[in-house]
Amino acid sequence: MDFSLSKSQIEIQKAASAFAKGEFDKDAGLKMEKEGRYPAETLQKACDLGFIGIHFPEQYLGAELGLFENCLISESLCRRDSTMGLALCLTGPGAECILRAGNTAQKEKYLPGVADGTLFTAIAFAETGQGFDLRGLKTTALKNGEGWVINGKKPLVLNGGTAGVYMVLCQTDPAADNPDPQMSLFAVDADAGGLSWKDAGRRIGCNMLSAADIFLDNVRVGPDSLVGDKGAGLALASACYKELHVLLAAQAVGIAQGAYDRALDYIRQREQFGKKIGAFHISWHKIADMATRIEYARTLVYRAAWAFDSGKLDYSLAAMAKMTAAQTALAVAYEAVQFFGGYGFTTEYEVEHFYRDAKFVDLFLGSANTQKELIAQMILGKMK
């Protein structure tokens, strides 16, 4: 085993940190978070420097690197500013579907836009009340000549309203008796007739990006909209979740580290009862716990990212990484807020949005309950 980053990985990490340090303005960030505005200029610069879509092939403006490098960037950006980091790293969650399963035409159509910051993408898989799996989705795509007609609704889609394309998971054989109903994945352009959206309002975190409920009302799409094979939708969605779980986990590690950095700075400066907060023994216990959690979460997340790039990541390790890192981010950010006391509760200091963003990452694409389902399915699922 070798736990050291390669030279080029260290360079990427340094570059991302330097970029965040140079471009993220604390006050502007706090304001944008509050107002739910998108940092468009910063995205442009991030794209110019190649941070977005670094895992894309070169012909689609990527650097042909791996999930590992993508994770290093995510971690560095979120460490500097949790909301800004999420905003920059989650412009293209649907792009992974295209990248991993799309055909050449689809890649050409969508990937360069994601990499140069002109296109936001969205995944619209889940629906209300499907429990832990996606088998019960009600959105249908029915064959109509060469193409398809899509009907349904998808609640609370991240980037809803701003995305140029939606990856929509649909039932394509709703009448089938098959206990594993046939699902397929479609890339539906935002300007497709019949697609509409309604802003979903502020969220618990990640407020620089938009979110909306998406309505698909007799949306007609051509055969070229099908991503991957007909009937492969569930597998593709799961694979996409798997990659995103690791990416979110890396973001969570960044959030945890950023909250920790701020807490450590604060308790080294701030005095209470005549001594630095950091000199209180309870601070020692808390800091030791926080640091330990960050170390084990980061190490696990790196392992998951490495496994993905080595072609051997299973659902269970991805889910473990997501659950562990998100819970670490939450616990660390919680204590950071507590160290700051009353100030920690105000939006003047950053720790409160690190805490909310940690909860966002914890819930987004499945809370711990969902992750446990995925893990146990791998271990015990065969038993039934």
Partner 1 sequence: MDILQYTAAHTQFRERLREFCQREIIPYVDQWEAAHIVPKSVWKKMGAEGFLCTNAPVAYGGHGLDFLYSVIVAEEMTRTNHTGLAATVHSDVVVPYIVSYGAEAVKKKYIPGCTSGDIITAIAMTEPDAGSDVAAMTTTAVEVGGEVEINGSKTFITNGINADLVVLAARDPDAENPHQAVSLYLVEDGTPGFERGRQLEKMGWNSQDTAELFFNKCRIPLENRLGEKNMGFVMLMEKLQQERLMCAVSAQFAIEFIVEAAVSHCKTTTDSKGKPLSKYQGLNFQLVEMMTNAHVGRVFMEKLVADHMEGLNVARETCMAKFWHTDLSQKTAGQALDLFGEAALAERNPLVRSWRDLRVLPIFAGTNEIMKIVVGKMSGL
Cα of 144 vs its chain's centroid, Å: 34
Ramachandran category for residue 53: left, alpha or beta (phi over 0 → left; psi -120 to 50 → alpha): left
- In the list 11, 31, 142, 284, the residue contacting a second copy (rule: CB under 8 A) is 284
Report the nearest approach of partner 1 to the CB of residue 130 (Å): 5
368 binds partner 1 (CB under 8 A): yes
Site for partner 1 in 8-47 (CB under 8 A): 34
Task: Give dist(CA 333, CA 340) in Å, integer.
Answer: 11
Strands (E), 55-179: 121-124, 140-144, 147-158, 165-171
Report the nearest approach of a second copy to the CB of residue 268 (Å): 6
Size of interface with partner 1, in residues (CB under 8 A): 54
- In the list 261, 291, 338, 367, the residue contacting a second copy (rule: CB under 8 A) is 291
Site for a second copy in 311-370 (CB under 8 A): 316-317, 319-320, 323-324, 369
- Report CA-CA distances (Å) from 48 to 42, 138, 380: 10, 40, 46
Note whether 52 and 87 are within 8 A (CB). no
Torsion angle, alpha carbons of 100, 103, 106, 112, to 10: 60
131 binds partner 1 (CB under 8 A): yes
At position 47, the amino acid (one-letter code) is C
| Contact stretch for partner 1 (CB under 8 A) within 16-24, 71-79, 90-98, 334-342 | 334-342
Q: What are phi and psi of 43, to 5 degrees?
A: -60, -45
355 binds partner 1 (CB under 8 A): yes
Q: 51 vs 120, which CB is nearer to partner 1?
A: 120
Task: Give dist(CA 322, CA 120) in Å, integer.
Answer: 23
285 binds a second copy (CB under 8 A): yes
Strand partners, 161: none
178 binds partner 1 (CB under 8 A): no
Task: Give dist(CA 361, CA 326) in Å, integer.
Answer: 6
Residues in the site for a second copy, rule: CB under 8 A?
1-6, 9, 68, 264, 267-268, 276, 278-279, 283-285, 287-289, 291-292, 295-297, 299-300, 302-303, 306-307, 310, 316-317, 319-320, 323-324, 369, 371-373, 375-377, 379-380, 383-384
Residues in the site for partner 1, rule: CB under 8 A?
34, 126, 128-133, 135-137, 155-156, 200-205, 211, 272-273, 280-282, 284-285, 330, 334, 337-338, 341-342, 344-348, 352-353, 355-356, 359-360, 362-370, 372
